[in-house]
């Protein structure tokens, strides 16, 4: 039997598909970015580097989760960074907020339907590796999915692979660009493995010790579902974490969301510069 195209107007629950949402966006703007940035907790300052052409709140976009966490504004922006067309997802819905994996990853499917080919995901993370300090950055070399589920579970969009290879989730060439961008922005950048948990509680020191033994360098509550779905959609993926705090047990102080946000915001200038450089290098390398 022939496979129907992935261009279905609605999903099996009758909700508009990513292709439908993307089609409505394509009617509203002539911009056709091949690169998208996804901005995590407190990173919306990167928008200051963007001349926007179209801005739409997630609340006006069918299927998009409404981020409920302070520091996550929740809007899709089409515009230019350093005169290069980009799509930006500012804010994300998290699994711990109660959103389904489908909802958390739906915006990435829309990016793919918009014609985006490469996505750079950003997030906050706790540093497990003893060399990592708050305010450092880590570009993902790989991940460990400890969220207890997988975003590809359940109904599979016709035309997309059911079983997705993740042996090279984070592309080497893009990682090199992030490294160059970090040098230019004078950011302290590590390369390491990110372990994703469900949250929303932070980890116990025993969990952090265990995660460290498994090979994790940093821990967080996002990004991995989006990376998996991006790979299913055939997108090239880079991911960058701001180490906003030392992971549980590495410090005497308790971890607070306020600390996570304030470290992210303190580094926003550096992150913004890094993202702008990354966009320029990406356009040159294309």
Under the binding rule (CB under 6 A), the answer on residue 261 touching ligand HPA is no
Catalytic annotation, residues: 41, 72, 94, 96-97, 124, 221-222, 245, 257
- Please give the residues from 95 up to 114 whose contact with ligand HPA meets the rule CB under 6 A: none
> Which residue from 221, 224, 235, 271 is in contact with ligand HPA, where contact means CB under 6 A?
221
Under the binding rule (CB under 6 A), the answer on residue 89 touching ligand HPA is no
> Which residue from 244, 271, 274, 282 is in contact with ligand HPA, where contact means CB under 6 A?
244
By CB under 6 A, how many residues form the interface with ligand HPA? Answer: 13
Contact between residue 206 and residue 144 where contact means Cβ atoms under 8 Å apart:
no
Buried b (16+ CB within 10 A) or exposed e, 121-160: bbbbbbbbbeebebbbbbbbbbbbbbbeeebbeeeebeeb
Nearest residue (CB) to ligand HPA, 61 versus 268: 268
> Which residue from 111, 260, 261, 275 is in contact with ligand HPA, where contact means CB under 6 A?
260
- What would the two tokens of residue 180 be? 């160059």
Calpha distance 93→245 (Å, rounded): 21
> Which residue from 90, 169, 223, 245 is in contact with ligand HPA, where contact means CB under 6 A?
245
Residue 244 CB, shortest distance to ligand HPA, in Å, is: 5
- Please give the residues from 173 up to 212 whose contact with ligand HPA meets the rule CB under 6 A: 202-203
Whether residue 93 has a cis bond before it, omega within 30° of 0: no
Calpha distance 67→207 (Å, rounded): 27
Residue located via tokens 């306020």: 258
Of residues 260, 195, 229, 4, the one with CA closest to residue 100: 229
Segment interacting with ligand HPA, rule: CB under 6 A, options 7-15, 42-50, 52-60, 240-248: 240-248
Nearest residue (CB) to ligand HPA, 15 versus 209: 209
Calpha distance 91→72 (Å, rounded): 4
Q: What is the dihedral of CA 53, 57, 60, 64, to 10 degrees?
A: 110
Segment interacting with ligand HPA, rule: CB under 6 A, options 5-13, 64-72, 165-173, 244-252: 244-252
Chain residues binding ligand HPA by CB under 6 A are 124-126, 202-203, 219-221, 244-245, 247, 255, 260
């Amino acid at each position: 039997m022939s496979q129907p195209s992935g261009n279905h107007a609605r999903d099996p629950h009758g909700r508009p598909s990513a292709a439908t949402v993307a089609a409505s966006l394509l009617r509203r703007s002539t911009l056709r970015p091949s690169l998208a940035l996804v901005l995590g907790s407190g990173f919306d300052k990167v928008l200051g580097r963007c001349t926007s052409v179209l801005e739409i709140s997630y609340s006006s976009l069918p299927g998009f989760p409404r981020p409920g966490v302070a520091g996550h504004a929740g809007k899709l922006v089409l515009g230019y960074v350093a005169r290069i067309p980009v799509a930006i997802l500012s804010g994300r819905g998290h699994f711990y907020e109660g959103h389904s994996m489908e909802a958390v990853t739906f915006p990435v499917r829309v990016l793919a339907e918009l014609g985006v080919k490469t996505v750079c995901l950003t997030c906050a993370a706790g540093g497990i590796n003893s060399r990592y300090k708050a305010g450092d950055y880590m570009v993902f070399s790989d991940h460990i999915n400890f969220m207890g589920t997988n975003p590809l579970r359940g109904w599979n969009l016709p035309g997309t692979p059911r079983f997705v290879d993740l042996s090279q989730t984070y592309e080497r060439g893009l990682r090199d660009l992030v490294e160059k961008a970090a040098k230019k922005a004078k950011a302290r950048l590590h390369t390491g493995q990110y372990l994703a948990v469900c949250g929303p509680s932070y980890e116990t020191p025993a969990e952090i010790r265990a995660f460290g033994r498994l090979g994790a360098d940093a821990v967080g509550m996002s990004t991995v579902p989006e990376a998996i779905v991006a790979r299913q959609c055939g997108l090239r993926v880079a991911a960058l974490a701001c180490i906003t705090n030392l992971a549980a047990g590495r410090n005497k102080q308790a971890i607070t969301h306020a600390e996570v946000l304030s470290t992210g915001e303190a580094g926003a200038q550096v992150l913004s510069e890094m993202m702008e450089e990354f966009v320029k290098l990406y356009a040159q390398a294309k």
